[in-house]
Amino acid sequence: MLSSTRRALRASLFCAIAATCALAAPSVHADPRFPPELRMALPNLTCDPPCTICHLTLAGGLGTLRSGGIGAEWLSMGFGLDIGNPASVITALNNAKSANSDADGDGMSDYLELSMGENPSDPKNLAPLCPANATKPLVYGCARVSPQGHVDNVAAAASALVVLLGIAALRRRPARTTP
């Protein structure tokens, strides 16, 4: 039977290993390069479109693709959209134009809606992509996954030290007592 000290050391070691793994996981953060790429392909747009044409939030990110939106549609249709390559949005736009894609099902193609400054992911077109009275800049961020996660050096060193101390403590044998 393990002593309570050894159980606590094992639990601490497990927590340190879990924390180290979490620090090394790929990070997902905003990539503001997607909206300007789309704008460059659409000369009639007067602003960079918000990420909400593809995502549920302006911050974007993995797991936030709008169902029935152009992001999900263009990915599922194989139009060449690559979340790690902002320039791929131009390829996807051209492929959607060729296919006459209509992600929101309102009868107007995605390309035509974008060219007119309307949201191709909103069948009701409740708000223009580039409001005339915008007073503050929008915050964009379509998902980008880093090939390698960011690990803070101090956190990594502290986690490694805790792991090593935990292993050393577990390997120490208790002193034998003579009856």
User: Do 106 and 139 share a domain, yes or no?
Assistant: yes
| Residues 94 and 122 both lie in one domain | yes
Q: Are residues 92 and 56 in the same domain?
A: yes
Q: Is the pLDDT of residue 137 over 60?
A: no
- Please tell me the predicted confidence (pLDDT) of residue 84: 84
Q: Which tokens sit at 142?
A: 């379509």
135 has a pLDDT exceeding 50: no
Distances (CA, A) of 43 to 50, 60, 74, 93, 106: 16, 24, 21, 13, 23
Asked whether residue 88 falls in the same domain as residue 11, the answer is no
> Do the Cβ atoms of 100 and 109 come closer than 8 Å?
yes
User: Is 22 in the same domain as 32?
Assistant: no
pLDDT tens digits along 30-76: 577 888 999 999 988 888 888 888 888 887 777 888 888 898 899 99
Considering the domain boundaries, does residue 68 fall inside one?
yes
**Most confident stretch, 3-7, 9-13, 97-101:** 97-101
Q: What is the 3-state secondary structure (H, E, C) of 116-145?
A: CCCCCCCCCCCCCCCCCCCCCCCCCCEEEE
Question: In this predicted model, what pLDDT tens digit does every residue of 148-174 receive, in sequence order?
Answer: 445 556 667 777 777 777 777 777 666
SS3 state of residue 81? coil
The whole-model pTM stands at: 0.59
* 41 domain-assigned: yes
Same domain assignment for residues 117 and 132: yes
| The predicted structure's pLDDT at residue 18 | 62
The pLDDT assigned to 145 comes to 47
Tokens representing 85 are 């390559």
Check if the beta carbon of residue 89 is closer than 8 Å to that of residue 81: yes
Is residue 76 located within the same domain as residue 162? Answer: no
In a shared domain, residues 18 and 54: no
DSSP state, residue 90: H
Is there a single domain that holds both residue 77 and residue 107?
yes
For residues 162 and 135, which has the higher predicted lDDT (pLDDT)? Answer: 162
* Tens digits of residue pLDDT in 83-101: 889 899 999 999 999 999 9
Question: 179 in a domain, yes or no?
Answer: no
Number of separate domains in the chain: 2
SS3 percent helix, strand, coil of the chain, rounded to 5, is 40, 5, 50
- Domain contains 178: no
Domain that holds residue 140: 28-145
Same domain, 48 and 130: yes
pLDDT of residue 102 exceeding 70: yes
Stretch (H or E) spanning 144:
strand 142-145
Q: Are residues 46 and 134 in the same domain?
A: yes
Same domain? For 14 and 102 the reply is: no
**Contact (Cβ atoms closer than 8 angstroms) between residue 100 and residue 126:** no
